[in-house]
Chain A
Amino acid sequence: MLKDSINNLLEKESEWFSVEAPNDLRDKIFLYIEGKVQRSFAFLRLLKLVSFSTLCVLAVMVILLISYQFKPSKVVFVYPNSGTEKSVNLVGTINKENKKIPLVLDKNSGYWKATVRVAQNDLQDYHFIVEEFSADDINRDN
């Protein structure tokens, strides 16, 4: 009896129950979709902005890194004065150029000095060429 009754209800009748949808459902659906579309566009705009900002920050970082890499820094070359040096020259590859730079004697500190602007990591090889007073120079002086 139970089985027959359920079968009768389920199979012989289509839509034995129904639910009334709200009258304004269509409007609500449109509003929801509109909101979603706006949010998607806003998200896309935000994404573009974030990507652009990230690119800018990266570009600035790269520029800073490069400028730091190539920014010349002051290097003071010193050579102790023992009193026998007539002249002291710095010879080497500085800023990718072969250079010969004379050092000047600082009588207060007792050092031969030369200040050179050298790009970062660009000081590869250098030597001091020291010219000493000859015996003739000493005799002439005396």
Chain B
Amino acid sequence: MDEKEIIKEVKKGNSEAFGQLIDLYKKLVFSFAYYHVKNRADAEDITQEVFWRVFSYINKFDEKRKFFSWLYTIEMNILATFLKKRMKQKKAYADQDFLENIVFDEKDRMSAEDKIVLFEAIDKLSTMEKSLIYMKYNEDYSIKEIAESFKLSEQNVKVKLFRTKGKLYKILGKENIVC
């Protein structure tokens, strides 16, 4: 079954199809959550909540829209609420082994250590900016797809990405990254 058929089956109440949908997107949803909350337990909670909302509102999903963009919209909303709540608590939240849980690709000429520096620099960006960087450069989504997820115009996404990258260069300039 392809994704569209799976969604149709889920809408009919097929729990097996829902399981397939979870398998397709659990890594994506979990990674995105972990990238933002830096805590496995919280990332799991957010992933569970995302799929609960998918389960609850799947009948409202417009099949003309791309499923992952709908999924990101749901996850962004949950993350926004979660991060807002956590900011008020002012508690230490990140896993001590946070960076150890991230698997860096070693194929290119930038070392894993430098990628960690880059990752830490990205962490200094706002939630929105981090999400843009993640979706564009880690998941390789098109500007159009990102615009759909964030309910922004394509031009707006381009401008935001340009500014975010500028901000990242500035942060990394201060960090003295070795290239």
Contact segment of A9-17, A62-70, A98-106: A9-17
- Separation in Å of the B86 CB from the closest CB of chain A? 19
Chain A contact patch, size range: 20 to 34
B118 touches A14 (CB 8 A): no
Contact segment of A21-29, A50-58, A71-79, A134-142: A21-29
Map CB proximity to B onto A14-45 as digits: 1 under 8 Å, 0 otherwise.
11111111100110111011001000000000
Select which of A10, A13, A18 is within 8 A of B107 by beta carbon. Answer: A13
**A6, A8, A10 — most chain B CB neighbours (10 Å):** A6
Q: How many A-B residue pairs have CB under 8 A?
A: 108
B44 at the interface (CB under 8 A from A): yes
- Separation in Å of the A9 CB from the closest CB of chain B? 5
Given contacts A9-B118, A17-B138, A32-B52, contact A2 B107 (CB under 8 A): no
Map CB proximity to A onto B27-47 as digits: 1 under 8 Å, 0 otherwise.
100110011000010011001
A82 at the interface (CB under 8 A from B): no
Q: Tell me the A residues contacting B by CB distance below 8 Å.
A: 1-6, 8-22, 25-26, 28-30, 32-33, 36
